[in-house]
Amino acid sequence: MASTIPFFKQVDRYIDRAADLASHPRGLLEQIKLCNAVYHVSFPIERDDGSIKVINGWRAAHSVHKLPVKGGIRLSSKASEDEVTALAALMTFKCALVDIPFGGAKGAIRVEKEEYSDRELERIMRRYTFELIQKNFIGPGVDVPGPDMGVGAREIGWMADTYMAMAPGQVNVHGCVTGKPLPLGGIRGRVEATGRGVFFGLREATGVAEDMEALGLTPGLEGKRVVLQGLGNVGFHACRFLQEAGAVVVAVAEREGAIHDPSGIDIEELVRHRAEEGSLLDFPVKTRIEESISAIELDCDILIPAALENQITAENAPRIKARIIAEGANGPVTVEAHDILAERGVMMIPDVYLNAGGVTVSYFEWLKNLSNVRFGRLNNRFEAASNGRTLDAVETLIGKEFSSSVRARVAVGAREDDIVNSGLEDTMTSAYHHIREAARARKTDLRTAAYFLGLEKVAVAYRERGVFP
């Protein structure tokens, strides 16, 4: 299944295609492609049985056209420098595309998470953080890690606590990482942010009647058949919001296999079942598929690869039946597969845009940490009182009182999660239409258009800094 082209080289090829549409000096374009710095660290930890294990980790800062740089940390037995640099490059373009003022970065620790106890994982995360501190690869104004595959609020909390212990007196210390637990300065809405962003992107894409007609589909999400690969945080939340909008999840693939039911699969029930039983294969459905990768070849309207990179290749691309591929994961479609699918007219909503919801809300968390004020704290009650006075005035005009349920919905102020979700929706909505307009203007696909827009913004930032003439 794996592509013969290294992941970072694949990203470079996408950048090259976008560069062909740009008019910047070649040297500037080459600088933008290069990874600015990569730190490879090896350190020992003592396991619970007293044995010593050497752990390898990486942190890559792809572009410093803006600081801090931003990107997640993942725990994966397949982690490598190539993967980290490729993901850091994606982060550069992702942040630029949705107007987040960060450079791109990424980190990874090469471990199989399930093989380590919680105590061992804590030692790994804290030591990794210490190593980043030693080389100035972490800090609110330098490099702000966040969660990624295998890393959640708990692990980020360990990183935050380690950094805070070594940075006494820093006012903005909570901004050292994002994705933190709420008591450590986290933000409401971060957990589901990436999946919610996937939903917003799909909602916008399927809402364009002209584009849906070209695919032989009706506008909107209602009734759209969805196949999901990867029942992690991103895939679960994306499908939860899609189901609420009327889409039907007909198949789900995970490591142990896949299940298929044309009548629909309740994604929340499935997640509960898998958490209790350890597998989705005995969930009550019509069909079980032992080879999970073959599930992405099922007939559907929307395919969401939300697992790993290089899942759709030149080998299986001709068998893909989806009309829309919504890239919830990073790099799920290889360059060769992209060309095959584009030739067939498949709409591919690229990862560099579609999974930007996580970094968008991480940006909001970082802003919250720098200001040291929770969103909504200063204006929540003022807005509620103002809305209440508006209802009072309307009641006076019409001579009729509103019900308590109406007042409960209207006479309220914006809470933190309301503000976060509103900001995320605005970001994803406007970015999609900018990409679509660029694609139409330059007669290219959405992926190349997205890279082109990101490239333009990074190039302008370099020029404004005076780095290049």
**Residues with active-site annotation:** 106
Q: Hey, which residues does 304 pair with through a beta bridge?
A: 228
Reference 252, options 232, 222, 276; nearest CA is 232
User: Quick one: DSSP state of residue 402?
Assistant: P
- CA nearest to 224, candidates 234, 216, 235, 236: 216
Antiparallel, parallel or unpaired: β 302-305 and 287-289 = unpaired
Contacts 24+ apart (CB under 8 A), 378-383: 379/413, 379/414, 380/413, 380/414, 380/415, 381/413, 382/413, 383/412, 383/413, 383/414
- The beta-carbon contacts of 189-193 under 8 Å, at least 24 apart in sequence, are 189/361, 189/416, 189/417, 189/420, 189/421, 189/424, 190/358, 190/361, 190/362, 190/365, 190/420, 191/153, 191/233, 191/237, 192/233, 192/237, 192/240, 193/357, 193/358, 193/360, 193/361, 193/362, 193/420, 193/424
CB 241 within 8 A of CB 199: yes
Q: Which amino acid is at 74?
A: R
Sign of the Cα pseudo-torsion (17, 19, 23, 25, in order) = negative
- Total Cβ atoms within 10 A of residue 280: 23
DSSP-derived secondary structure for 207-250: T-HHHHHHHT--SSSTT-EEEEE--SHHHHHHHHHHHHTT-EEE
